[in-house]
Amino acid sequence: MLSGTELPWYAALPESGPGPSVRWTSAAFEGELRDWVGGVLGGLGADLVSLEAVHQRPWSTVWRAAASDGATYWAKQNCDHQSFEAALLVVLDRLSPRRVVPVVAVDLERGLHLVPDQGPVLAETVDDDDVDAWCRVAAEAMRLQRDLVGHGSDLVAAGVTSLCPAEAAAYVEARVASLTGLPTDDPRRMSGDVAHRLRALLPAVTAWAEDVQALGLPESLVHNDLHASNVFATADGMRFFDFGDALLAHPLSALFVPLNVLLHRFETTPDDPRLRRVGDAALEVWGDVVPAGELRAALPSALRLGRLGRAESWLRVTATLTPAEAVEHGDAGTWWLGALGDEPPLS
């Protein structure tokens, strides 16, 4: 049970609020964004030629800006609980500039950021079954983590939430209590049978956490949505972006998303040697810190805990949806938490 006078951040669900997509599709927002982007470009000696909404999601809005000097930029704003991305990008641009998309400008108060175009994303330049490309992505993601070792306080100061293995069981217990207590018409509400199953799983969650803690690896940035459309393969190497889902967590848990994507893309099973290749490419980056055999042995536990990251990012997102969006996406965080006991994507 949770104890102590100071409640942890996960004791209550992310605060609910109106869906920002209503504002993002308004003429007023477009005008505000046009003024901001135009001012930034003006400071670079160029004019804003055009501004076009490219992605409108319940959790973020992304716009393409064309400048008079021929350059293209991308402007983005996230929902309230993921608006820390702008501040995080400033930190990443300082600590690991070779591995992230450079930042042109940020408005920290509004959570806006502007980045230069990097060409087509990796997903548009490689085949879906290009295992070598996925090995490079996984390894470079680990190298980004190593660049950030020792800078956890900088990440937290930027607004990144820390979900360390030691808190995993308490996190599950608290989220189950909150989700089962929601009104019956709330799509986030967790059913009693799922709650019972998760409470019975708490000893296993503790064991998984002990497995990964025994490695002694430091917590670092977990992208938490790492797939081939969130990375560029530039002439200077891999550059990552789209950090709105990010957490400070165990580094190996970052492999859950890419391996889970590949598991379903290949329509295969967790013992597929192609998945092992990708996992081994990532683990090799930490091989000078912990023996490879120990990393492999603990990886399934880390991947299981990786599901908590997906649950948390969806719970942040689903706190601010319109009623129509809630019908489509409202149960996503609860679903991911309920899947915690499923097999990891790599055995």
Q: Which CATH architecture has domain 18-116?
A: 2-Layer Sandwich (3.30)
CA distance 37 to 35: 6
What's at 59, amino acid-wise?
Answer: W
Give the pLDDT confidence of 106-155 residue by residue, as tens digits: 999 999 999 999 999 999 999 988 999 999 999 999 999 999 999 999 99
Pick the closest to residue 302 from 205, 171, 225, 230 (CA basis): 205
CA distance 60 to 122: 21
Unique residue bearing structure tokens 């909150």: 178
pTM: 0.95
Looking at the chain, the whole-number percentage of residues with pLDDT higher than 90 is: 96
Pick the closest to residue 94 from 161, 138, 140, 147 (CA basis): 147
Unique residue bearing structure tokens 């097999």: 343
- Enumerate the CATH 3.90.1200.10 domain ranges in the chain, comma separated: 118-347
- Enumerate the CATH 3.30.200.20 domain ranges in the chain, comma separated: 18-116
Beta carbons within 10 angstroms of residue 187's beta carbon: 17
Give 334's contacts (C-beta < 8 A, 6+ positions apart): 179, 187, 188, 189, 190, 194, 311
Q: Which CATH architecture has domain 118-347?
A: Alpha-Beta Complex (3.90)
SS3 249: strand
* pLDDT tens sequence for the chain (347 residues): 444 568 999 999 999 999 999 999 999 999 999 999 999 999 999 999 999 999 999 999 999 999 999 999 999 999 999 999 999 999 999 999 999 999 999 999 999 999 999 999 999 999 988 999 999 999 999 999 999 999 999 999 999 999 999 999 999 999 999 999 999 999 999 999 999 999 999 999 999 999 999 999 999 999 999 999 999 998 888 999 999 999 999 999 999 999 999 999 999 999 999 999 999 999 999 999 999 999 999 999 999 999 999 999 999 999 999 999 999 999 999 999 999 999 999 99
